[in-house]
Structure 1
Amino acid sequence: MTTSGHSAPPSPRPKTVAVIGLGAMGIVAVKNLVEEGFDVTGFERNPYVGGLWHYTDDKNTLSVLPDTQTNVTVDSGCYTDYPYPKGTPAYCSAKEVENYLESYVDHFGLRPHFHLNTIITGITRQDDFDKWRIDIEGQASRHFDKVVMATGPHVKPCMPDIKDAHLFSGPIIHSRAFKKPEELRGRRVVVLGLGNTGGDIADALVGIASSVTLSHNRGAVILPRFVNGLPASHLVTHRRIDIQGTAEKCIPSQLLGRLVSRKVKGIMKTAFGDIDPSWRLDPAPSLDVSVPVVSDTLMDHLRAGDVRSAPGIRRIVSPNEIELDDGTTIEADALICCTGYKNDFGILDTRFDPSANPPSEWKSSPGAKDRPLPRLYRNVFSLDQPGSLAFVGCVWFATGAFCLADLTSMCIAQVWAGKSSLPPAREMSRWADVQERRICSLAQRGSPIPTSVPHREWLMWADRTAGTGVFENLGWGCAGWRFWWRERELCRYMMDGVLAAAMWRVFDKGKRKPWEGAKAEIVRVNEAAREEKRIR
């Protein structure tokens, strides 16, 4: 009772949020929203969390292979306030990632918020009630104030249309269905597509298949995980991101792309030596329209002849014969299509599907390849319902996916909690227009990831929106000078050292929750890297 004898007004009911998908992106979205006081429920169709990092024999479900190794080091590839256990290898195994995700969920007490084995069949906007209706297979519908789509970019496999495929007697499968190399023992296997998945599967088949042919229409940049004995990802620092961001404003994009590609190709040559023209790695697309293939063994297999490089597939000639684009034919018993995935937002109310009306320039671009192009503000917020519909998994640039999902969901939580604001609708639409034109332009000369965004520009927006304070305290203003003066070693590590995910939890700007262990973690990973460099 109050002193006047009247009851205190009840506290406002927390806003309810549904998070769709509990892979690595969904679980961090639940965590960051719960941290801001939202009543969050996460839905997952599988009986487990972690998405593709949980191995399954189910050939209709995407998962890593048991021997998959990460392409990003654990110090930058983790969440921002929860490092991998000490002693974890720089590039760890898929099982170690799965264990890390399960540990993260338990550490932050997220399991009570999860509904597993739950299939969402539709998400509809109830305009009259200002709610979202979530339709659930075999259950009553539920209503929520807000929705986060965290289904990730690997929703639907992209299968190529191969002429006369019906003539082939062997299996033609998407890489999603490739689970056990042993199933193809003794067979002549053609792997279609030279990307990270194609390289991994070709490597996995060496010594098991009687022959492995890697069929691809374009070249590629192949990078090792280690350069001069040290993790290659340690070459990326905050200062270099700043420098490249400045260069993007001053140098035409195609020229900058060529300069970056030339630098990266130099790393490739240093690591692997001369490149045999028969491997067909040149000409490689510019890195602004393609992703490097990370592999420590593929080049050795090409050099030894264990993996043969061949042109793309023109058609199937007979039950065991494939004609290539150069007119030659090869014999094959199995074909694995490593042709990627695409987003799909089909369960959403059509009015709010961000990919429902792609521009004609995208549909006609040779690099579009029938993939959706989501139209969102900063590739995060719905332009129609930014206050109640957001997406995690529609932002891409070369960085750790877990850290990126953490930053994205921090931004969503801070905006919906009222601690940060979005610009007027007209400005958000204008940003989406510029983004569309940029991607459509890239698709004229390559096959860009549709959700790729300018690296530094997006990070600066996320820094302000989530309230991480990184760019302010590592900049040239008063805050930057104060930070440098008070904590010179930490400042140096954050600017020029390992790009540790923990850097996004150091400063307290009154928005997202800082992590008291962030500074110590940054010092630890940098001192470990310095010691490793000294030993080398």
Structure 2
Amino acid sequence: MDDLAYLKEIEGKILYDHFEDKMKNSVKRVWVPGPVIIGAGPSGLAAATCLKARGVPSLILERANCIASLWQLKTYDRLRLHLPKQFCELPLLPFPSEFPTYPTKQQFVAYMEGYALHFNLSLVFNTTVASAEFDKGCGFWKVKTIGAEETEYVCRWVVVATGENAEEVVPRIEGMGEFSGPIVHTSKYKTGEEFCGKRVLVVGCGNSGMEVCLDLYNYDAQPSLVVRDSVHVLPQEMLGRSTFGLSMWLLKWLPMWLVDRFLLLMSRLMLGDTAQLGLTRPSLGPLQLKKESGKTPVLDIGTLEKIRSGHIKVLSGIKRLKRDTVEFLDGRVENFEAIILATGYKSNVPTWLKETSFFSEKDGFPRKPFPDGWKGENGLYAVGFAKRGLLGTSMDAKRIAEDIGHQWNAMPNNLRPSIMHHCHSHEFRK
């Protein structure tokens, strides 16, 4: 049996099963001609757009009721892009020229909504992927979802775009059940207004923790910051340019270790010795640390000044919580009325992807590091896991589109329209 006959036989079986399932009031089965993309954040939108530019249709499945749900539903109001807009735009469509260098949360969301509309991307909202498994018998992926209707999507390619920040990381701290005040993750934090006049402990010293502390101070709260690990704090700009942009330019000419030395020297001149503020630096330079661990340096937007003036206190790790006090590892005990967990996010891929050779079961990231972590086996791909921000996302999306595009164009022309006809007979929300 040749490939064309085999594909037609498989397609016929899928369609037969679809009607048989509907007669039994069982799972609805939908044939998708191009890739199924899981996740409608920047990564999923970028992948769909790059595929469309190569003539490949795709379908994006999203568990929330909107695109970019992390940005729309789980970020604080004062958030801005920490990098200049030219390093954060998605493929094939730049930011509006009137946007500032560091767009606001609202502007970035508007940009992504306009992006999806501009490229007329196909999306299904309120649909959570329960499992995705490759069927070796027929050579297709089966993506099972739950939502308004239990559905199984059948396709040849799956693009995982759920990203590095799919689920909140909530640490277990002794005594959490005893603490009388609210304990909230930054995904639930919007503004410091509700904490006015209160003593608030922020756990986590990344960009979010630092910015939330500053926001709390601006709303007349009394914030303190828990710093357990070493951290690199860099100025947001150096020599009139963004620190990130300057770093990328220097890396074209100099080795990474030398650029790291330059960044640390400039940071010392501009910010002083952060160790005196309780913020010790890691032994690895900021760029080397980012490359090896994915840990992003903090770009200071004014928090250090408030730490230096004593308006924001830096404290050691937490030992345990009590009703209205926190005991720290150094023995100090202080009163607090609220705790905000700026403890980050994690991948949720191992909870639904029935495949372990490409993605690690431990952390939910591709096992191969950047730049080789975008392609697995049997038509499985990953976008947005490179730990390189939106620049890494764009690179992955372009590679994926090129690879799938070659396969798509190699399909017999007399088969592709038939498959697309069956797909388009189903209604997808746009």
Task: State the TM bucket, normalised to the shorter chain.
Answer: 0.7 to 0.9
**Structure 1: which 5+ runs fail to align?**
1-11, 57-62, 249-255, 359-370, 421-536
Question: Given the alignment, which residue of 308, 321, 345 partners 1:341?
Answer: 345
1:380 aligns with 2:374: yes
Aligned to 1:291: 296
One-letter amino acid of the counterpart of residue 270, structure 1: L
Greater alpha carbon shift after TM alignment, 197-206 vs 333-342: 333-342
SS at match of 2:406: coil
Indicate if the aligned counterparts of 1:219 and 1:280 stay in contact, CA closer than 8 A: no
Deviation digits for residues 445-467 of structure 1 (CA, Å, limit 9, x no counterpart): xxxxxxxxxxxxxxxxxxxxxxx
The CA distance in 2 between the partners of 1:37 and 1:166, in whole Å, is 54
Query: How far has the Cα of 1:261 moved from its partner?
Result: 4.0
Query: How far has the Cα of 1:266 moved from its partner?
Result: 2.0
The CA distance in 2 between the partners of 1:35 and 1:319, in whole Å, is 57
Q: How does 1:324-363 map to 2 (within 5 A)?
A: 324-345=328-349, 346-351=351-356, 354-356=359-361
Q: How does 1:372-451 map to 2 (within 5 A)?
A: 372-376=364-368, 378-382=372-376, 385=377, 387-397=378-388, 401-418=389-406
Aligned to 1:52: 70
Query: How far has the Cα of 1:172 moved from its partner?
Result: 2.1
1:302 aligns with 2:312: no
Indicate if the aligned counterparts of 1:223 and 1:292 stay in contact, CA closer than 8 A: yes
Query: How far has the Cα of 1:87 moved from its partner?
Result: 2.5
Deviation digits for residues 425-446 of structure 1 (CA, Å, limit 9, x no counterpart): xxxxxxxxxxxxxxxxxxxxxx
Query: How far has the Cα of 1:139 moved from its partner?
Result: 2.9
Query: How far has the Cα of 1:406 moved from its partner?
Result: 1.9
Higher strand share: 2
Question: Given the alignment, which residue of 191, 209, 222 partners 1:180?
Answer: 191
The CA distance in 1 between the partners of 2:136 and 2:172, in whole Å, is 41
Aligned to 1:131: 140
Indicate if the aligned counterparts of 2:61 and 2:125 stay in contact, CA closer than 8 A: yes
**Structure 2: which 5+ runs fail to align?**
1-7, 12-31, 290-294, 409-430
Question: Given the alignment, which residue of 270, 280, 283 partners 1:282?
Answer: 280
The CA distance in 2 between the partners of 1:159 and 1:302, in whole Å, is 25
The CA distance in 2 between the partners of 1:372 and 1:81, in whole Å, is 29
Indicate if the aligned counterparts of 1:80 and 1:403 stay in contact, CA closer than 8 A: no
Distance 1:261-1:321 versus aligned 2 partners, 3 A rule: farther
Query: How far has the Cα of 1:270 moved from its partner?
Result: 3.0
The CA distance in 1 between the partners of 2:109 and 2:176, in whole Å, is 37
SS at match of 1:104: helix
The CA distance in 2 between the partners of 1:260 and 1:407, in whole Å, is 23
One-letter amino acid of the counterpart of residue 43, structure 1: L
Indicate if the aligned counterparts of 2:75 and 2:186 stay in contact, CA closer than 8 A: no
Query: How far has the Cα of 1:201 moved from its partner?
Result: 0.7
The CA distance in 1 between the partners of 2:218 and 2:99, in whole Å, is 29
Aligned to 1:141: 152
Query: How far has the Cα of 1:23 moved from its partner?
Result: 0.5
The CA distance in 2 between the partners of 1:139 and 1:169, in whole Å, is 41
Question: Given the alignment, which residue of 319, 329, 334 partners 1:314?
Answer: 319
The CA distance in 2 between the partners of 1:236 and 1:407, in whole Å, is 18
Identity of aligned residues (%): 23
Indicate if the aligned counterparts of 1:125 and 1:131 stay in contact, CA closer than 8 A: yes
The CA distance in 2 between the partners of 1:419 and 1:146, in whole Å, is 10
SS at match of 1:417: helix
The CA distance in 1 between the partners of 2:118 and 2:111, in whole Å, is 10
One-letter amino acid of the counterpart of residue 391, structure 1: A
Indicate if the aligned counterparts of 1:24 and 1:51 stay in contact, CA closer than 8 A: no
Indicate if the aligned counterparts of 1:32 and 1:410 stay in contact, CA closer than 8 A: yes
Aligned to 2:34: 16
Deviation digits for residues 405-442 of structure 1 (CA, Å, limit 9, x no counterpart): 1220111121222389xxxxxxxxxxxxxxxxxxxxxx
Query: How far has the Cα of 1:191 moved from its partner?
Result: 0.6
Query: How far has the Cα of 1:15 moved from its partner?
Result: 4.2
Indicate if the aligned counterparts of 1:221 and 1:268 stay in contact, CA closer than 8 A: no
Q: How does 1:32-111 map to 2 (within 5 A)?
A: 32-54=50-72, 56=73, 63-110=74-121
1:120 aligns with 2:121: no
Indicate if the aligned counterparts of 1:26 and 1:42 stay in contact, CA closer than 8 A: yes
SS at match of 2:131: strand
Query: How far has the Cα of 1:107 moved from its partner?
Result: 2.0
For the aligned residue pairs, the C-alpha RMSD in angstroms reads 2.6
Query: How far has the Cα of 1:264 moved from its partner?
Result: 1.8
The CA distance in 2 between the partners of 1:222 and 1:277, in whole Å, is 10
Distance 1:115-1:419 versus aligned 2 partners, 3 A rule: closer
The CA distance in 1 between the partners of 2:106 and 2:163, in whole Å, is 20
Indicate if the aligned counterparts of 1:71 and 1:294 stay in contact, CA closer than 8 A: yes
Query: How far has the Cα of 1:72 moved from its partner?
Result: 1.0
Normalised TM-score (structure 2): 0.79
Distance 1:177-1:353 versus aligned 2 partners, 3 A rule: farther
Q: Select the structure with the greater relative contact order (CA < 8 A; seq sep ≥ 6).
A: 2
Distance 1:15-1:352 versus aligned 2 partners, 3 A rule: farther
Query: How far has the Cα of 1:40 moved from its partner?
Result: 0.8
Query: How far has the Cα of 1:198 moved from its partner?
Result: 0.5
Query: How far has the Cα of 1:118 moved from its partner?
Result: 1.7
Distance 1:279-1:237 versus aligned 2 partners, 3 A rule: closer
SS at match of 1:49: coil
One-letter amino acid of the counterpart of residue 414, structure 1: E
Q: How does 1:156-305 map to 2 (within 5 A)?
A: 156-208=167-219, 210-238=221-249, 240-244=250-254, 247=255, 256=257, 259-272=258-271, 274-275=272-273, 277-286=275-284, 287=286, 288-289=288-289, 290-305=295-310
Aligned to 1:510: none
Indicate if the aligned counterparts of 1:164 and 1:315 stay in contact, CA closer than 8 A: yes
Query: How far has the Cα of 1:203 moved from its partner?
Result: 0.8
Indicate if the aligned counterparts of 2:163 and 2:347 stay in contact, CA closer than 8 A: yes
Indicate if the aligned counterparts of 2:40 and 2:62 stay in contact, CA closer than 8 A: yes
